Amino acid sequence: MLREKRWLYDAVLILLLFSLAAGSLLFLFPREEGRAVEVRIDGELLQVYALDAEGSYALRGRYGSATLVILDGRASLHEAACPDKLCERRGELSKVGESAVCLPSRIEIRIVGEGEVDGYA
Amino acid sequence: MRNRARMVAFLGMMTAVSLVLSYVEALIPWFPSLPGVKIGLSNLVVLFLLYRSGAASAGTVSLARILLAGILFSGPLSILYSLTGGSFSFLAMLLLKKSKRFSSVGVSAAGGAMHNVGQILVARLVMGSDAVFYYLPHLLFFGTLFGALLGGATAVLLLKYPKQEKV
């Protein structure tokens, strides 16, 4: 009954259809290059830096501190006053929505895109 | 078929079955998060007919069911969606079946996927916004999945009702 060959074609076809579904997912949600990075300390939006404003910026909160480094259109955290340094290990952020958080210091940086920036530093 | 009256009666019966299936599946509270995801139970009939009675019969029943279901249950807009989805689906299934390389599972899977593609295109026209395409991955996935499952069910049916003079 199960003519082997046909089922192979079926499987290939179905896999193809599924990958089309998955593919369209990637295609539809592209990651957009960010324009600026928001700095939040203790949940509060403190400052927004444009991603072309290269430099090092000291971020100091009640619970700890870190340095925001903007270089080549990418933002990253350094010299964080925390034991695990997870925020530093997060690496460089450049796409809209990406964020890095230093939980002990309660410091967060997040990339935002066009139209979301209401101030430049 | 042996005579016309018998053909008419038979296809009428098939349309009724298809219609009832369509109604029953509308009763299932399915994925309230996403509209348009349906199992496509009524397609079982169309697929079965495609294999046993030929494209003309299957197409007729499909068309009749779409129109009737639209008039009875939904509305003109929904008829547009169903017609587009249904014709895309039917065409795909017909072509795949003709190629003789796929079983009813593959044929139905493609039919299910194409049905949803057709519907998305209509949605794009009606809504005038590209936002509808965000549903594509979801619809494609479930269209294929349910299509394949239906194809399996149809395969069982086809075994139970082997090709003979009946149709």
ipTM of the complex, rounded to two decimals = 0.82
What is the arithmetic mean of pLDDT over B4-22? 93
* Residue of chain A whose Cα is closest to the Cα of B156: A1
- End-to-end Cα distance, chain A: 72
Predicted pLDDT of residue B31: 56
This prediction's pTM: 0.68
What is the arithmetic mean of pLDDT over B127-143? 82
Residue B122 pairs in a beta bridge with none
* pLDDT exceeds 70 at position B135: yes
Q: Do B140 and A13 touch (CB under 8 A)?
A: no
What is the arithmetic mean of pLDDT over B57-83? 89
Return d(Cα B102, Cα A8) in angstroms, integer. 8
pLDDT in tens, B79-129: 888 899 999 999 999 999 998 888 899 999 999 999 999 988 888 888 777
Find tokens 């014709």 and name the residue.
B87
Instruction: Identify all chain A residues contacting B106, using CB atoms and an 8 Å cutoff.
Output: 6, 9-10, 13-14
Buried b (16+ CB within 10 A) or exposed e, B134-154: ebbbbbbbbbbbbbbbbbbbb
pLDDT in tens, A29-82: 767 888 889 998 888 888 899 988 899 999 888 888 889 999 988 999 988 888
Give the closest residue to B39 by CA, choosing from B134, B120, B108, B93.
Answer: B108
Q: Do B141 and A21 touch (CB under 8 A)?
A: yes
pLDDT, chain B, mean: 87
Calculate the CA dihedral of residues B22, B80, B64, B36 and round it to 10 degrees. -10
